[in-house]
Structure 1
Amino acid sequence: MSENQEFYDNLDVRANYFAHRRRPDNPNDALERPLFLELAGQLANLDMIDLGCGDASFGQEALFQGARSYRGLEASQTMVDMARQVLANTPGEVVHERIEAWQAQSEQADLVSSRLALN
């Protein structure tokens, strides 16, 4: 992987990641997701920002639960392209941007998340 290439833009890394995530017992869905949703509470009518959104499957779920808006930030162009497909025909959006470049602004969102993106 080149120094300028984002982690998930590497074909081998991405294939390995999705093989892991598609397992029915993957830790993200079995452990992290239920705990996060419990902590986040009701998502209805929230404006949300998701730092390191990956394929934006969380954004799709949040919008389905009634979130007012969803904006994902993702460094990997490949994941941005996938996320935009996942969010097609929804009010959700994804921006190709590194987490480190994001600047919080007053009253920008009701909920800012970064699920398993900061390692």
Structure 2
Amino acid sequence: MSERGSDFYDNDAVFQTYMERRQGQDNANDTLEKPVMLELIGDATGKSILDLGCGDARFATELLGEKHNGLSYTGIEGSTNMVQTARKTVQGLNARIEQSYLEDGTYPVDTYDLAISRLAIHYIEDINRLFHSIHGTLKKDGVFIFSVEHPVITSTLQPSGTRTNWIVDQYFVEGYREQQWLGGSVHKMHRSIESYYMALQNAGFRVEHLRESAPQRAYFVDEETYQRRQRIPLFLFLSARK
């Protein structure tokens, strides 16, 4: 594919819609995805952090803030709109933002204690190469934690944008699936849970945790939204150690 996943956010209308949605009450990122990521990360005190597909880098303010006290933060992001926003976000912090597609990023050897990626790797076709790069850039005992759209979701993407059912089909037929989302057309890579797991092992990682986005009532304002989120997993999380 000639277009990379992060290019989707350089459509200004899409970018604005996305940023507005992220502010919405009970949005899935804040109620389902971020709590699990924070739980898996645990104490980030004194750690040098690499964030792959960092978006607007709001997460940097939490990881480097009083709660986590991370040592330093490097974000890699391909979207120009996101990079411009991210650089404003991290002003005054021990952080830098590198504009690059993840496949083309700079991964210096034995540099980071913690590598994270939130909902970006499902845009990447060759995760084997990427995971090898991440393994190499981590220090000994470094940890890689990422979230992706759950394979149950990517296996049911429909080009029309109108989901008629949640029937998983062609699960083991991996490849890009087209989705109409936020007023634009985006391609996400569907792969099985097994493929994510094996890619980590093949890169030399020891997988420590596998999580799904089971909703926790405390993070929801609306009861109906909480009940709806129990129907199907939206996100998959894996944590692995070098």
The TM-score with structure 1 as length reference comes to 0.91
- Partner in structure 2 of residue 17 of structure 1: 18
- What is the correspondence of 1:52-63 to structure 2 with a 5 Å cutoff? 52-63=53-64
Measured in 1, the distance between the counterparts of 2:88 and 2:109 equals: 30
Residue among 39, 49, 70 paired with 1:67: 70
Asked whether 1:116 is paired with 2:134, we answer no
Residue 15 of structure 1 deviates from its aligned partner by: 1.4
| Farther-moved stretch of structure 1 (50-59 vs 11-20) | 11-20
Residue among 70, 73, 79 paired with 1:76: 79
Q: Which runs of 5+ in 2 are unaligned?
A: 123-242
Asked whether 1:36 is paired with 2:29, we answer no
Residue 73 of structure 1 aligns with an amino acid whose one-letter code is I
Measured in 2, the distance between the counterparts of 1:67 and 1:56 equals: 14
Residue 60 of structure 1 aligns with an amino acid whose one-letter code is T
Measured in 2, the distance between the counterparts of 1:42 and 1:7 equals: 33
Residue among 74, 85, 90 paired with 2:88: 85
Q: Which has the higher contact order (CA 8 A, sep 6+)?
A: 1
Q: Which runs of 5+ in 1 are unaligned?
A: none
Residue 32 of structure 1 aligns with an amino acid whose one-letter code is E
Q: How many residues end up aligned between the 2 structures?
A: 118
Measured in 2, the distance between the counterparts of 1:106 and 1:9 equals: 31
* Secondary structure of the corresponding residue to residue 44 of structure 1: coil
Measured in 2, the distance between the counterparts of 1:7 and 1:92 equals: 25
Residue 7 of structure 1 deviates from its aligned partner by: 1.2
Residue 108 of structure 1 aligns with an amino acid whose one-letter code is T
> Which deviations, in whole Å up to 9, do the C-alpha atoms of 1:56-111 show, x marking residues without a partner?
00111111121000000000111111001000011111010110112544321111
Larger proportion of helix:
1
- Partner in structure 2 of residue 106 of structure 1: 109
Measured in 2, the distance between the counterparts of 1:31 and 1:91 equals: 28
Residue 20 of structure 1 deviates from its aligned partner by: 1.2
- Partner in structure 2 of residue 95 of structure 1: 98
The TM-score with structure 2 as length reference comes to 0.46
Measured in 2, the distance between the counterparts of 1:78 and 1:103 equals: 20
* Secondary structure of the corresponding residue to residue 33 of structure 2: helix
CA contact (8 A) 2:76 2:100 kept: yes
What is the Cα-based RMSD across aligned positions, in Å?
A: 1.8
CA contact (8 A) 2:49 2:73 kept: yes
Larger Rg: 2
- Partner in structure 1 of residue 147 of structure 2: none
Residue 97 of structure 2 aligns with an amino acid whose one-letter code is V
> Which deviations, in whole Å up to 9, do the C-alpha atoms of 1:6-52 show, x marking residues without a partner?
11111111011112101021111111101011011101111000000
Measured in 1, the distance between the counterparts of 2:80 and 2:71 equals: 25
